[in-house]
Amino acid sequence: MTYCTGLLLDEGMVFASDSRTNAGLDNIATFCKMTVFERAGDRVIVLLSSGNLAGTQAVISVLRQRGDAEGASPNLWNARTLFDVTALVADAMRDIDRRDGLYLAESGGFNASFILGGQIRGEPMRLFRIYSEGNFIEAGLHTTPYFQTGEAKYGKSIIDRVITPSTTLADAAKCVLVSFDSTMRSNLSVGMPIDLICYRRDSLAIQMRRRFDEGDAYFTALSSQWSEGVRDVFSRLPELHW
Amino acid sequence: MTYCTGLLLDEGMVFASDSRTNAGLDNIATFCKMTVFERAGDRVIVLLSSGNLAGTQAVISVLRQRGDAEGASPNLWNARTLFDVTALVADAMRDIDRRDGLYLAESGGFNASFILGGQIRGEPMRLFRIYSEGNFIEAGLHTTPYFQTGEAKYGKSIIDRVITPSTTLADAAKCVLVSFDSTMRSNLSVGMPIDLICYRRDSLAIQMRRRFDEGDAYFTALSSQWSEGVRDVFSRLPELHW
């Protein structure tokens, strides 16, 4: 399984993904589920993958190859808007599905989905969620400013409690890490390392990227302070009288 | 959907259930999902229902009728152990399934499941989870001291963080209410009123039972103090340096 989340805030965007991949319970591996396409000053595109690894890797390889190809065919680097980029990802997903879908029919078919976000010069920041069928939705800053994929429920309540459009990038990054901590405590199919990016609005470059490995000092401190703090709040809640 | 949870602690047991029932999104109703069979000094049996309401109500009616019947046929009131009571519930479920299952096949079949717990004189407290097939598992005080059914994930992390066998009944009740608060914030299919029971070990009687309706003063205070407290803990978490 997987846990990925992307947030759209006034100050910028936050992206995070776990790294646990498994085909059955006895075949666990670590793969990065975060892919960045960046041309400083022009565009930052972050893609978070969930679903079957063969499918998500194939989609990303196709996107890379098409981006590297000579000529002016539409690709990630010449797309004018992030909407167009999202449609290119959907096209790649459907191409892979056409190639592999029939062979996967018995095991559930092509299943890959993405959170895609970032900014292209001349546009505001945008955040999309692409379903495995290739259709997609876009987040609204003042309606639902985040998307989650995978094991989303365990870590949803802290996001719902803390995040508003005016949350700072620093607080949002902490919130996302706490959300991962809660998820990993309750579900073994989500695991470290965690990849985290904070993107500052209009910077058109990735300036804050960090990987949190098992035992990371900051994450461990965050996790234990959070636990202690929560238990402390808990102990001060009013008593119930029967 | 539903959210129910039952906890087994050194000091006693906690049971809680929501009340939202829906057949489709436009047919929402309120039904109590908590049933108590109590003979003070002899036995306390609490049943939390989830799944199709027609199924769970039928099971409970059958259990009641069999309990009220003359004669010495095995029933809830003469069962010697809570294991035997759990088997009687499973029998009732299978009887209903035999009667209705065929007619429900196209709409997913008989689906009802239960958390059952309590104490019978001469036995320790026990907690079971009964699956819709009628098979069941028992909680262990020092292994997994709680069961959840329905929309369990949103409210799991606070239980995982707070509950140990030595948690007091008072704290466990608060924890369960916070768990419901988190679930209801993130999922519309779980709704008030919440029914709550705290059972004190060896009391063989229900002395603490409470229903929390929409707008309940205690629940509202708990919910807002929790939110503020969590945001406060949050604001004091260490800053991430990139």
CATH number of the domain where residue B171 is located: 3.60.20.10
Query: What's the confidence (pLDDT) of residue A26?
Result: 74
Q: Does A144 touch chain B (CB under 8 A)?
A: no
Residue A109 in this model has a pLDDT that exceeds 90: no
The pLDDT score that the predictor gives to residue B189 is 86
Distance CA(A114)–CA(A52), nearest Å, equals 11
CA nearest to B159, candidates B143, B140, B172:
B172
| Total domains, chain B | 1
A237 close to B (CB below 8 A): yes
> How confident is the model over B43-67, as pLDDT tens digits?
999 999 999 889 999 999 999 999 9
Q: Cβ contacts (< 8 Å) between B151 and chain A: which residues?
A: 153
Q: What single-letter amino acid sits at B199?
A: Y
Assess whether pLDDT exceeds 90 at residue A193: yes
Does ipTM come in above 0.90? no
Q: B222 and A238 in contact by Cβ < 8 A?
A: yes
What is the structure's pLDDT at B199?
98
In chain B, % helix, strand, coil (3-state, to 5) comes to 35, 30, 35
User: How many CB atoms sit inside 10 A of residue A234's CB?
Assistant: 18
Percent of chain A's residues with pLDDT above 90? 75
Q: What average pLDDT does this structure show over A174-199? A: 93
Q: How many CA atoms lie within 13 A of A44 on its CB side?
A: 27
Each residue's pLDDT, cut to its tens digit, for chain B (242 residues) gives: 899 999 999 999 999 999 988 766 777 788 999 999 999 999 999 999 999 889 999 999 999 999 998 777 999 999 999 999 999 999 999 999 999 988 988 888 888 999 999 999 999 999 999 999 999 999 987 888 999 999 888 899 889 888 999 999 999 999 999 999 999 988 888 889 999 999 999 999 999 999 999 999 999 999 999 999 998 998 899 999 88
pLDDT digit string (tens) for A203-237? 999 999 999 999 999 999 999 999 999 989 988 99
Mean residue pLDDT of chain A comes to 93
Nearest to B174 among A151, A183, A234 (CB): A234
Of B104, B238, B19, nearest in space to A222 by CA: B238
Note the pLDDT tens digit of each residue in B117-144: 999 999 999 999 999 999 999 998 788 8
What would the pLDDT profile of A147-176 be if each residue is shown by its tens digit? Answer: 999 989 889 988 988 899 999 999 999 999
Residues 160-219 of B with CB under 8 A from A: 160-162, 170-171, 173-175, 177-178, 182-183, 185-187, 198, 207-210, 218
The verdict on residue A76 lying in a domain is yes
Tell me whether residues A225 and B232 touch, CB distance under 8 A: no
Distances in Å between the Cα of A123 and the Cα atoms of A10, A11, A120, A197 are 14, 15, 6, 20
**Residue B219 counted as domain residue:** yes
Q: Counting one residue from A and one from B, how many pairs have CB atoms under 8 Å apart?
A: 124
Q: Which residue of A has its CA nearest to B230?
A: A230
- Give the separation between CA A10 and CA A6, rounded to whole angstroms: 14
Q: What Cα–Cα distance (Å) separates residue A127 from each residue in A60, A78, A117, A233?
A: 18, 19, 4, 34
| pLDDT value at residue B86 | 97
Residue B42 is assigned to a structural domain of this protein? yes
Range of the domain at B31: 3-235
Cβ contact B42:B121 at 8 Å: yes
Task: Check residue B45 and give its pLDDT.
Answer: 98
A149: exposed, middle or buried (C-beta count within 10 Å: 0-12, 13-18, 19+)? buried
Mean pLDDT (whole number) for A12-39: 89
Domain assignment present for residue B153? The answer is yes
Number of other CB atoms surrounding residue B162 within 10 Å: 20
Query: Does the residue A20 lie in any domain?
Result: yes
Residues B13 and B4: their CA atoms lie apart, in Å, by: 14
Closest-CA residue of B relative to A162 is: B231
Coil, strand or helix: which one is B114?
A: strand
A184 to chain B: closest CA residue: B157
pLDDT of residue A107: 82
The answer to the question of residue A128 being in a domain is yes
Q: What pLDDT is stored for residue B23 in this prediction?
A: 66
Residues of B in contact with A236 (CB under 8 A): 225, 229
* A55, A139, B36, B71, B82 from B127: Cα distances, Å: 43, 43, 14, 28, 8
- Residue B201 is assigned to a structural domain of this protein: yes
Contact B239 A155 (CB under 8 A): no
pLDDT, residue B17, reads 97
pLDDT given at position A195 = 97
Would you place residue A63 in the very low, low, confident or very high pLDDT band (cuts 50, 70, 90)? very high
A15 pLDDT band, cuts 50/70/90, is very high
A48: in domain: yes
Cα torsion through B227, B232, B236, B238, rounded to 10: 10
Report the amino acid identity of residue B37.
Answer: F
- Which residues make Cβ contacts (< 8 Å) with residue A239, sequence separation at least 6? B170
* C-alpha torsion sign, points A73, A74, A75, A77: positive
Residue A23 pLDDT class (50, 70, 90 cuts): low
